[in-house]
Every structure is written in structure tokens, then in C-alpha cells.
Chain A
Amino acid sequence: MEKQLSPDEKREAMFQRLLSPKDPAGNDLKFQSPEAEANYKASINRIKNAIQLKESDRVPVTVFPSMFPVNYAGMTVQEAMYDYDKCVGAFRKFVLDFKPDIHWGAAAPGPGKLYEILDYKLYAWPGHGVAPAHSYQCLEGEYMSADEYGLLTTDPSLFFRNFYLPRVFGVLDGFKMLPPLTGILEMYGVAYNFIPYALPPVQNTYKALFEAGAEALKWAGAIGGLDGELATLGFPNILGGFTKAPFDTLGDTLRGTKGIMLDMYRQPDKLLQAMEAITPIMINMGVASAQQTGNPLIFIPLHKGADGFLSDEQFKKFYWPTLRKVIVGLIDAGCVPFPAAEGGYNSRLNVIRDIPKGKTIWMFDQTDLVKAKEIVGDTLCIFGNMPSAILELGTPQQVRDYAKKLIDAVGKGGGFIMGNGAFFDQAKPENIKAMIDFTKEYGVYR
């Protein structure tokens, strides 16, 4: 029986494993040069120190784009979504050309063929409602109706399988016919549970799932291969997976923005209960993927709690409590929560202060980072916030000026990672280069 490690010990163990990486066969990873090995380890240590609010030799720098690498490589998003080797090539070129300290993998475009096999209705993507050169877009709607909080709260998996998933994936229609797994109890009557698997709609669903599985495996092999290759060249990817704030889980793709905002007024108790019910599930989602990948960072895109979306009272009552539980749950398991506060969090800084210190990285977008450093600089590591407008429309000098301001004001004492503020598709290559090169030169801690 393993001795129970403390959260800090678990996290340290994950970082130690990252610093002694293995290849798929379990042998020590062979770096392509001593310099690559040194860069790899230095990058991980810089991030580790930044999380712990300490200085390193210099400010770490990275870029976490959306489709920019695809556009930079001169291909369309459609090509990247349907040709996995091309996709991998684009992200490889992006990392090797610009040399950020760490990278975030090539999973963003995703496998277009899989979405076709499953008849994905939740998104439009190139060739399916969106032009070949454009990114996929979410088709927001009420995929969970206002009166379905009961089942979601008492049996989320059953709700997802039998009700929600068939609405967002056309081929999963057969799931509607499956009885709850919890009916499989003993000899008497057990056979009844299996009758649906003889029915054509169910069989069609499973046939599609087998096809989708093969496609997913093919895609994952290509993407994973890139991570391994880039590691040997000195560029780590320490992203372990993702999860969501329970409010966003419900508000993004189940009730929709309008639905959940009206629910705050029309059925606040049911909303709160549902979010509590799914909180352990959202924690486990992050913990399980960190265990699978061996990477500690768990990405949490934050959507509906931005400045302007909710009042301070609504944020404190509906959005923050379960998000905080997810953050703390991830920390307790040794993971590093990595929330991305999309939009502005200027009015939220005093609320998010209330988390364990030196255990999280927060990506900020339209938040004033100087103000953030004052209010939460002693609590969390700040990542950001080069604006999309400067990257796409500005000049290298504007990039350097903005980066200098950030390094001077926010880099002080450590706890800062230079990066983009929002997920972007277009930018001038010389601006990306300026951001990374300038940080490596000017961001030195003296």
C-alpha cells in the first residue's frame, strides 16, 4: 500500500518525472543534443518556479494560440483538421521557428472526419457550415431544457448518455434506448437489460462508435508523436488535460448563455444543486487526465464569469464557489490548475485571491496586469497578456514596448509568464518573434 503523499509531494513528484522524461518504451528519453536537454529542463524549471512565485534566470515565454500555426504554415484549418500529418507539420514548424520555452501540442484543430462520423451538431467546422480557412464555431443553444435539472443532478452520466449526447451527436441516437447500468443487479431479470443491443438503432450507434474510435486513435497517435519529437528537441508540453467551472459546463453547451442566466433568476436553487453535483466530476476529469498524461497543468477555460457577464453578487453566489472547489480539488491531487480568464477579470481579482498561494497559473486577457500583480501577485502566477490586436495589426516595436511594460511591472519577483492574452488565429510572424526574442533578452532577472 503506497504511503499517502501530500498535495505538494504529489506535485513535486509529477515535476520530477517531467524532468526525467521517458520514451514510449519506458526508457530514458534520448534528447537530440545536450543543448536540447538543457533547454528542456530549464524551461520546466522556469515554469515550476513561476508557479511557486519565485524568480528563475529569466521570465518564461510561450504562445498558446488557436489556429495561428495552421495559418502560419500556409494551410487552411480544413486541411489541418483532415490531414493529421499536415496538422502536426504546422505545429512543428511553429515551435521550431519561434522557439517558445514550452508549447501546447497540436490538438486544437481536432479530427474533422470523426465529427463527420458522429454527426456533430454542436459545432460548425470547415466544410460543414464554415469556410475552409476559418476555425470551428460553437452553435450555442439549449441542448438541455429548463426542466431537466432533476436528472442532471441525480444521475449526470445517465442524463448525458440518454438525453444530452444524442442531441449533440446525430449518430448517438441509439443511446436513448439503453437502460441505466444500475439495473444490472442479479440473475433475476438481468437479461432484459441487454435486449436494446439487438435493436438496429443501437447497433448503428455502436458501429459508428467503433469507426469513430479508430479515427480518434489515428489522430491521437499523430498528435502524441509530435509531443515526443519536440521533447527530444528541447521543447516540453506539460499540458495534462482540461476541465471546466461547473457554471460553464452548464452554461456553455448545455443550457446556453441565455438559458443559464435566466435560470439564475427562475430556478436558482436547482442551478446551485446541479453545479454542486457535477463538481466532483469536473475535478476527476482533470485529475484523471493528469494521471494519464503525466502532465500536471490542467487547463480551465473560464467563460461566463467575465466582467460584464455577471454582477459581483452573481459571481460570488453562482460562479465562484464551485470553480474554487474544482481548483482546490485539483491542487489536492497534485495538479496545477491553469484557468484562462477570457475577457476581463478586473472586477474579480479580489474574489479569486482566496485560493492556495503559489499553486496555480492564471492566463489573463483584458485584465489590467499591473492591477492584477498588486492584488493577486502574491497568490497566483500571472500568464499574459499580449493583445490580439497588437499581434495581428501592430508592429514589432509595439510588441516590444508592451512586453517591456509587462516585464517591468509584472515580472518583478517572479510569478510571471509572458504570453498571449487571448486565443488567436491570425498574427504577423515578426510580432510573435519579437515577443519571444525580446522576453528572452530583456526578461532576465538581475
Chain B
Amino acid sequence: MSKALIDAITDMREQDALQITDELLASGADPLGVLEACREAMAAIGHRYEEGVYFLPELLLAGEMLSQISDKVKPRLQAQAGAQKKLGRVVIGTVQGDIHNIGKNIVIFMLDVNGFEVRDLGVDVAPQKFVEAIRDFQPQVVGLSGFLTLAFGVMKETVEAIKTAGLRDEVKIVIGGGQVSEEISQYVGADAYGKDAMSGVSLAKKWVGAK
């Protein structure tokens, strides 16, 4: 695994990271090794975010680098079974009436690189769509995103719909967004609220029993 690549991504040196990737792939390095380096870098970036060294811009740039690197790697991947084992499945969406999505997309990206399989329902998602997705995708975790104050009531309705469908005990529900808090979490009937991007990942890992 290339330390130079891991460091370049972790240190937010985009041009270096892309150049090193090109050099590695041109020299015949294992494409899966490149992706593994990306995951190492993401773990380090996640730690720096939790420590208050990195903030939103770094998560966004990390996403950009990873997306460009995986575009370079994908064509070279043989159909290798042995895609890494997924830690668990998460369904996530912004609740009905709300169309904010940047925070949600960052959480999805962080879950994805941390080994989760994520189904993104998008924005303005009706309660029934969450229910259908849970039945179909069978996630362990459901994430409800909402930024506006109108989201509080809608999150409550969404949790109710999941309960009515007899699915409440099958999933752990986490809420997130600009104005959520412990009070809101209890009001809507969720299991927890995520204060920021990394808390969503920590909660998901805890709930699936991963380290």
C-alpha cells in the first residue's frame, strides 16, 4: 500500500494524490491496493474531523479525490469477487417536504467508505417510501435527514409509519440535520440523533456490532 498516496489524500493534496494514482496504475500496481489506500486515508481523515482539525471542506475535497481516483481504478478492476465484505446496510433520505441534501450526501459518502452498503432515497421522501425501502433492502439502520423545523413533525410521522408496518423493531433509526437535538430525537421516536457526519458512522458501526 502506498504511503505516499495515503499521505497525499489525508493531507488534502489533490494534484499529488491524482498524480501518484496515475503513476501507480501505470506501473502495474494492484488497483484494489489503490482503493485500500483510499480507505486508510479516509479513516485518518475521519479521525482528524472528530478531533476538530478537519471540517466540512475537507470532507468534500476527500469525496472529490476519492471519486476521481475510483474513476481511474474502476476500468482496471477485473471482475474480482472479493469486493470487501460490507459491515451492514443503511437506508437514508431527507424527509418529506425538505429538499436539503448536502449533509445527507456527506454522511452517505462516509458510510460508504467505512464499509456500509447505502441506499439513498434522495430528498422529499414520503414515509411510505421509507417503509418500502426497509422491506426491500432490509437495512439494519435507517437515517432520517431534515434541516427545516417542519421536519420534526414529518420525522415523527415517518417513524410512526415504520411502526405501523411492523418494522420498527427490525431497524435502528438515527436522525440528523441542522436543528435536531436529544429532545427532537425523543419526540420523533428515533433511537439517536447524529450531531455531525462522523456520529452517523459511529452509531451505525455500534449498532451492527462492528469495531
Closest residue of chain A to B180, judged by CB? A389
B14 within 8 A of A: yes
Q: Which of B74-82, B96-104, B132-140, B202-210 participates in binding chain A?
A: B96-104
**Chain A residue, CB-CB nearest to B101:** A140
Q: Counting CB contacts under 8 A, is B178 at the interface? A: yes
Q: Nearest-CB distance from B47 to chain A (Å)?
A: 15
Residues of A within 8 A of B196 (CB): 308
B55 with A425: CB separation less than 8 A? no
Kindly specify which of B21-29, B38-46, B113-121, B144-152 makes contact with the partner chain: B144-152
Residues of A within 8 A of B53 (CB): 311
Contacting B at CB under 8 A, from A301-349, are: 308-311, 314, 343
Cβ A389 vs Cβ B183 within 8 A = yes
Given A308-B55, A393-B187, check contact A265 B12 (CB 8 Å). yes
CB-CB contacts below 8 Å: B137-169 with A? 148-150, 152-153
Q: Does A266 contact B (CB under 8 A)?
A: yes
Task: Give Cα A322–Cα B34 distance, bound, in whole angstroms.
Answer: 41
B97 touches A134 (CB 8 A): yes
Q: Is B56 at the interface (CB under 8 A from chain A)?
A: yes
Contacting pair B99 A137 (CB below 8 A): yes
Q: Are B179 and A308 in contact (CB-based, < 8 A)? A: no
A257 touches which of B12, B102, B148 (Cβ 8 Å): B102
Shortest C-beta distance, A69 to chain B (Å), equals 14
Measured CB to CB, the closest approach of chain B to A64, in angstroms, equals: 14
The 8 Å CB contact of B14, one of A129, A266, A310, A424, is: A266
Whether B56 pairs with A309 at a CB distance below 8 angstroms is yes
Q: Mark A114-145, 1 if CB is under 8 A from B, else 0.
A: 00000000001000011100110101100000
Closest to A342 in B: B178
- Please determine whether A265 and B14 come into contact, CB atoms closer than 8 angstroms: yes
**A314 and B196 alpha carbons, distance in the complex (Å):** 19
Known: A135-B150, A308-B56, A314-B57. A388 touches B179 (CB 8 A): yes
- The residue among B12, B102, B149, B150 with the most chain A CB atoms within 10 A of its own CB is B149
| Given A124-B99, A388-B179, A389-B184, A311 contacting B54 (CB threshold 8 A) | yes
In this assembly, does A230 line the interface, its C-beta being within 8 Å of a C-beta of chain B?
no
Q: Which chain A positions have C-beta within 8 A of B97? A: 130-131, 134
Least CB distance from A258 to B in Å reads 5
A-B contact count (CB 8 A): 76
**Given the complex, which residues of B lie within 8 Å of A96, measured CB to CB?**
none
Residues of A with C-beta under 8 A to B183: 389, 393-394
B100 with A137: CB separation less than 8 A: yes
Q: Are the CB atoms of A310 and B56 closer together than 8 Å? A: yes
Give min CB distance, B61 to chain A, whole Å. Answer: 6
A388 surroundings in chain B (CB, below 8 A):
149, 179
Taking the closest CB of chain A, its distance from the CB of B98, in whole angstroms, is 8
Which single residue of chain B is at the shortest CB-CB distance from A265?
B61
Chain B nearest CB from A245 CB (Å) reads 16
Q: Does residue B4 face the partner (Cβ distance < 8 Å to A)?
A: no
Q: Give complex CA distance A130, B55 in Å.
A: 31
- The size bracket of the interface on A is 20 to 34
Select the residue from A343, A388, A422, A425 with max chain B CB neighbours within 10 A: A388
Determine the residue in chain B with the shortest Cβ distance to A309.
B56
Q: How far is the CB of B141 from chain A (nearest CB, A)?
A: 23
**Residues 24-57 of A contacting B (Cβ, < 8 Å):** none
Alpha-carbon separation in the docked complex, A426 to B14 (Å)? 44
Alpha-carbon distance A43/B175, docked complex (angstroms): 41
B191 CB–A CB distance under 8 Å: no
- Contacts known (A310-B56, A388-B149); A393 close to B14, Cβ less than 8 A: no
Please, what's the 1-or-0 string for B179-195, where 1 marks a CB less than 8 Å from any CB in chain A? Answer: 10101100100000000
Is A209's beta carbon under 8 Å from chain B? no
Query: CA separation between A135 and B97, bound complex, in Å?
Result: 9
Given the known interface contacts A134-B150, A392-B152, A393-B183, the answer about A309 and B55 at a Cβ–Cβ threshold of 8 Å is yes
Contact in complex: A135, B148 (CB < 8 Å): yes
Which residues from chain A contact B150 at a C-beta distance below 8 Å?
A: 134-135, 425-426
Given A265-B14, A422-B179, A425-B148: A393 in contact with B56 (beta carbons within 8 A): no
- Asked whether, in the complex, the Cβ of A392 is within 8 Å of the Cβ of B64, the reply is no
Of B100, B148, B178, B183, chain A has the most CB atoms within 10 Å of the CB of: B148
For residue A444, CB closer than 8 A to chain B, the reply is no
Given the complex of chains A and B, what is the CA–CA distance between A311 and B54 in angstroms?
Answer: 7
> B60 an interface residue at 8 Å Cβ cutoff?
yes
Contacts of B12 in A (CB 8 A): 265
A262 at the interface (CB under 8 A from B): yes
A424 and B57 form a contact (CB under 8 A): no
Whether, in the assembled complex, A352 has its beta carbon less than 8 Å from a beta carbon of chain B, the answer is no
Q: How far is the CA of A426 from the CA of B54 in the complex (A)?
A: 34
Given pairs A258-B60, A387-B181, A422-B149, 19 additional interface contacts (CB within 8 A)? A130-B99, A134-B150, A137-B98, A137-B100, A140-B102, A257-B102, A264-B57, A265-B14, A265-B61, A266-B14, A308-B55, A308-B196, A310-B55, A310-B57, A311-B57, A389-B181, A389-B184, A393-B183, A426-B152
Provide a sorted-by-A list of 14 A–B residue pairs whose CB atoms are within 8 angstroms.
A134-B148, A137-B99, A257-B56, A257-B102, A308-B55, A308-B196, A309-B57, A311-B55, A343-B178, A389-B179, A393-B183, A393-B184, A425-B150, A426-B150
A-contacting residues of B (Cβ < 8 Å)? 12, 14, 53-57, 60-61, 64, 97-100, 102, 148-150, 152-153, 178-179, 181, 183-184, 187, 196
